[in-house]
Amino acid sequence: MNILVIGRGGREHAICKKLLESNKVAQVFCAPGSDALVKEGIICPNINEMDFEKLINFAKENRIAFVIIGPEVPLLEGMVDAFSAAGIKAFGPTKRAALIEGSKDFAKQFMQKYQIPTASSKTFTDYEHAQNYVNQVGAPIVIKADGLADGKGVVVAMTLAEATLALKEMLLENKFEKASEKVVIEEFLVGEEFSLMAFVNGKKIYPMEVAKDHKRAYDGAKGPNTGGMGAYSPVPQISEALVDEAIQNVLVKAANGLFQENRAFRGVLYAGLMATSSGVKVIEFNARFGDPETQVVLPRLTSDFAELIQALLDDEEPVVTFKETGVNLGIVLASKGYPAFYEKNHLVTGLTELSAEVTVYHAGTYLNEAGEFISNGGRVLLLTLEAKDMTDARQQLYKEMEKLDTPSFFYRIDIGGEE
C-alpha cells in the first residue's frame, strides 16, 4: 500500500515511523512533512495541509490506499468529507464529528445531554457577564477559549487576578481571534490527570494504552499551558478499574452520542481526563491523535498499524494489541520563551551524540545547507525511549537531554515524576 499522512509535526513523525514497520506498506508520503522525515525515506510533497484540491490530486496520482490526517484544523475544515467525496479513503472524523474538539461549548452541551461526567461550566460571549460570574464563584477556576488555540487556549487561574487577565485577553483583546470570541468557564478539578485515546468506528471502541501528558511549561507544573512538554505510557497510578470507568462512562457514551446526533465518529477520539474523588471526569475531547501522547503510545503498539487502520476503514474488526511490560517516556525540547514569543533559527546541537536507544521525533526543525537541524517552532523535538521502569527511563533519558542543552532551548526536568 501507498499511504499519505497529512501534517508536519512530531505526532505525524510518529505515525509515519509506525507505518514503515508494516510489511504491507510500500511507500509512506507525508504532506507537507519535514526534512527529518525525508531523511528517513518518507516522501514529502510540498503541499500545504489546507490545500485540499492538490492533496486529492496527489492521492489519485500516487494510488494512495488511504490517508491519515494528523492535525485538527484540516479535520474541522472538512478534509475527510473532501477526500470521501473524491472516492479516497481517509482516516479521521467528518467535519460534523470533529466539532467535539472544535467547540468546547458544543462539547459541554453534548456531555450534559449524554450524561458524560465533566466539570460544571458556563459559557460567555460578554466580558462583563463573564467577569461577574468569576467574581461570584471565585478562584481557582478554569478559563477556556471555545475554539482551537494550538493547546494554549486554557488558563488555570489560581487567583481572581489571573482569571480577570485571561478574560480580558480572550474576550476584549481577541488573543486567539475567533477561537476566543466565546469562552467556557468551568470549575477547577482536583485529581490525577491522564489521557485515553481510542480507535473508533461508529459505536465501536478500541482503547489504546493510557498516557500522561505534562502540559505546564515549567517544572513543578508551573507556568502557562502548552501543547505538552512531555509524556509517558503506561500510567501505573491509574488503575484498571479507573480505565474501565473511563471507557464505559466517557468513550462508549461519546461514540454512541455522536452516532445518535448524526455525527458518527471514525478516527481517533482523545479524552483528556481527571481522576477525581468523585470519579473520572472529562477535561477535554480531541478528534485526533494527541501530541505528545502519540509519540509514547504508538511505539507500544504491537499489532500492524497499517492493517489496523485499513480494517477500521473497511468496517472490519481490527487487531489492537500493546506491549505488556516496560514504559515509554518522552521529553520535549522547546524554544526559549515557548508558549509565548520565541526565537526561531537556532542550531540544534548534540543530535549525533545521542544513544541508539533514543528515538527523536521532530516537531519544529528544518535542515540548513550544511545538513544541520535548525529550530523552526515552539516545540522543537521530542526524545523518547523505552525502559523496564520509570526510574530507569528517567535516568537514561535525562542524560541524553543534556547533550542537547543550549541557551536557545529548555526542557522540564520533572517529566515522568509526580505533578
| Cis amide prior to 236 (ω within 30 degrees) | no
Residue 50 lies in a domain: yes
H helices present in 4-91, as ranges:
10-20, 35-39, 52-61, 72-76, 79-85
How does DSSP assign 141-184, residue by residue? EEEEESS--TT--EEEESSHHHHHHHHIIIIIS-TTGGGGSSEE
pLDDT at position 357: 96
Q: Could you give the 3-state DSSP secondary structure of residue 21?
A: coil
% of the chain at pLDDT higher than 90 = 97
Question: Span 36-58, mean pLDDT?
Answer: 97
364-410 pLDDT, tens per residue? 999 999 999 999 999 999 999 999 999 999 999 999 999 999 999 99
Q: Check if the beta carbon of residue 40 is closer than 8 Å to that of residue 14.
A: no
50-87 pLDDT, tens per residue? 999 999 999 999 999 999 999 999 999 999 999 999 99
Q: Which of 71, 94, 117 is the last residue of a domain?
A: 94
Residue 322 lies in a domain: no
Same domain, 261 and 365: no
Mean model confidence pLDDT for the chain: 96
Q: Which of 136, 161, 181 is the last residue of a domain?
A: 181
128-162 pLDDT, tens per residue? 999 999 999 999 999 999 999 877 899 999 999 99
pLDDT at position 152: 81
349-367 pLDDT, tens per residue? 999 999 999 999 999 999 9
Same domain, 243 and 270: yes
In sign, the C-alpha dihedral spanning 178, 183, 184, 187 is positive
Confidence band for 2, pLDDT divided at 50, 70 and 90: very high
312-325 pLDDT, tens per residue? 999 999 999 999 99
Same domain, 302 and 252: yes
pLDDT at position 94: 98
pLDDT at position 150: 79
Same domain, 89 and 136: no
Residue 79 lies in a domain: yes
Residue 415 lies in a domain: no
Dist CA 392 CA 168 (whole Å): 45
Cβ neighbours around 369 below 10 Å, total: 5
Same domain, 207 and 303: yes
Residues paired with 206 in a beta bridge: 199
pLDDT at position 286: 97
Same domain, 340 and 386: yes
Residue 418: pLDDT over 80? no
Q: Could you give the 3-state DSSP secondary structure of residue 326?
A: coil
Same domain, 148 and 215: no
Question: Span 220-237, mean pLDDT?
Answer: 94
CATH of residue 76: 3.40.50.20
pLDDT at position 10: 97
How does DSSP assign 336-358, residue by residue? TTTTSS-----B---GGGS-TT-
Dist CA 282 CA 296 (whole Å): 21
Q: Check if the beta carbon of residue 133 is closer than 8 Å to that of residue 122.
A: yes
CATH of residue 144: 3.30.1490.20
Residue 416 lies in a domain: no
How many domains are contained in the chain? 4
190-206 pLDDT, tens per residue? 999 999 999 999 999 99
Residue among 91, 93, 97 at smallest CA distance from 68? 91
Residue 31 lies in a domain: yes
H helices present in 193-304, as ranges:
240-246, 253-260, 293-297
CATH of residue 256: 3.30.470.20
pLDDT at position 225: 87
Residue 419: pLDDT over 80? no
Sequence-ordered list of residues with C-beta below 8 angstroms from that of 104, at least 6 positions apart, any chain? 144, 145, 146, 147, 184, 284
Residue 320 lies in a domain: no
Sequence-ordered list of residues with C-beta below 8 angstroms from that of 259, at least 6 positions apart, any chain? 202, 203, 265
Residue 399 lies in a domain: yes
pLDDT at position 151: 75
Q: Which of 260, 278, 313 is the last residue of a domain?
A: 313
Same domain, 203 and 260: yes
> What's the domain range around 149?
126-181
Confidence band for 235, pLDDT divided at 50, 70 and 90: very high
Same domain, 247 and 340: no
